[in-house]
Amino acid sequence: MIALGSDHGGYDLKVAVMEHLKERGIEYKDFGTYDKNSCDYPDFGLAAAKAVASGECEKGIVICTTGIGISMVANKVKGVRCALCSEVSSARLTREHNDANVLAMGGGFVGPVLGCEIVDTFLDTEFSGLEKHSRRIQKMMDMEA
């Protein structure tokens, strides 16, 4: 189960991602927004991130206009490692090296074709499990209050 959240600036890309996930047979839960009316990204980024942190959803995808604000919100949730990606290599590396569990994208910068390629890479790439990466992730997680 994938948690999805966006504001109005990420809505179109989120809709494209939802259609793509359906085509792949991947279940998702949409935490909003549900239209293109102006809204506040913290509301939807927080809901999606909490679903990942609680285990309700395995991973999350959050989208606003730039991806910056909504990634900051997601990273406020204990247990979430959200990475802002605008190309495929970062999506692969953040899974392999950081075991990121939430992907952020900017709907104003990433189109639907590239966005779905980023999503596929993020979802299909496994954590490397290398000791050096596990150690670094543990240090990062130990910083949480």
- Catalytic residue IDs: 64, 97
Instruction: Record the tokens describing residue 55, joined without a space.
Output: 């285990």
Residue 32: closest CA among 23, 22, 42: 42
- For residues 4 and 33, what is the distance between their CA atoms, to the nearest angstrom? 9
Contact 64, 70 (CB under 8 A): yes
